[in-house]
Amino acid sequence: MKKTALFVSIVLILCFICSCSGNTATTGGYGAYGSVNLDAQSDFQRKDADVTEAKIVTVGNIPRLYIDGKNTAPLFFWGNTSFTFGSQATMSSQIDLATRSGVSIIMTEVNFATMVDDEVYDFAPIDSKLNYILQRNPDAKIMIRISPSTGKSMFWEDLFPGDAKRFEDGTRADSVSFASEQRVTYAVNAAKALVEHILSNKKYSNSVIGYHYGYGEWFQSTQEDVDFSRAMLKCYKEYVKEKYGTVEELRKAWGDDSVDFDNITIKAPPGSSLTSAVDYNTMKLPEDQRFVDYYEALNYNAADIICLLAKTIKEASGGRSLFMTFYGYAWEVPGPKSAHNGLTKILEDENVDIISSPLTYNDRMEGGTGGLMSLADSLAAHNKLWVMENDLRTLDSNVSVYEEPDAEYNLKTESEESAIEIQKREFGLILSRNIGMYWMDLWGTGWQNNSAYWNEYEKMIKLYNDYAASFDGFKPDVAVVVDESSVNMISNTTTFVENMFYKQKNIFYSAGVTFGLYETSVAVSDYVDAKLYIFLNPWDISDKEAENIKKNIIDKGKTVLWVNGFGRQSAEKIKELTGMNIKHKDETETLCTVLATSEHPIIDELSGKIQIFNDETANPYFYVEDDTAVTLGKYDLNGLVSFAAKETNGYKSVFYGGTLLTESIVRAVAKYAGANIFIDTNDTLTGNHNFISVHAATAGEKTIKLPMKTDVYDYYEEKWYSGVESINVSMEKGQTKFFFFGNKAQIKKVGIAK
Helices within 361-415 (DSSP H only): none
Longest Cα separation, the chain: 76
> What value does the mean pLDDT take over residues 581-609?
91
Pairing of strands 322-326, 354-358: parallel
Taking residues 534-538, report their average pLDDT.
96
Q: Residues with Cβ < 8 Å from 15, sequence gap 6 or more?
A: 31, 33, 690, 691, 710, 740, 741, 742, 746, 747
Contact by Cβ (8 Å): 612, 594: yes
Which residues are registered as beta bridge partners of 59? 62
pLDDT score at 327: 96
Count of other CB atoms within 10 angstroms of residue 640: 16
The answer to whether the CB of 367 falls within 8 A of the CB of 321 is: no
| CB under 8 A, 24+ apart: contacts of 554-558 | 554/651, 555/651, 557/649, 557/650, 557/651, 557/652, 558/530, 558/531, 558/532, 558/533, 558/651, 558/652, 558/673
Closest of 2, 13, 8, 12 to residue 729, by C-alpha: 12
| pLDDT over threshold 70, residue 19 | no
Kindly tell me if the per-residue pLDDT of 607 is higher than 90. no
pLDDT of residue 24: 32
Report the pLDDT value the prediction gives residue 427, as an integer from 0 to 100: 96
Who has greater pLDDT, 82 or 513? 513
Of the two residues 308 and 741, the one the predictor is more confident about is 308
Domains of the chain: 1-225+300-474+688-754 (3.20.20.80), 532-673 (3.40.50.880)
pLDDT in tens, 347-377: 999 999 999 999 999 898 998 999 999 999 9
- Whether the per-residue pLDDT at 405 is higher than 90: the answer is no
What residues contact residue 5 under an 8 Å CB cut-off, 6+ apart? 732
In the sheet where 700-714 sits, what is the strand order? 719-731, 700-714, 739-742
The helix or strand, by DSSP H or E, that contains position 9, with its residue range, turns out to be none
Mean pLDDT of 668-685: 97
Greater confidence, 152 or 687? 687
**Region class of 383: left (phi > 0), else alpha (psi between -120 and 50), else beta:** left
199 three-class SS = helix
- pLDDT at residue 11 greater than cutoff 50: no
Segment 81-91, tens digit of pLDDT:
988 888 899 99
| CA torsion angle 339 345 350 352 (round to 10) | 10
Confidence at 113, pLDDT banded by 50, 70, 90 = low
3-state secondary structure 352-373: CCEEEEECCCCCCCCCCCCCCC
Count of C-beta atoms within a 10 Å radius of residue 582: 24
- The pTM (predicted TM-score) of the whole model is 0.93
Determine the average pLDDT of the residues in 573-582: 96
Number of C-beta neighbours around residue 298 at 10 A? 26
Average pLDDT, the chain: 89
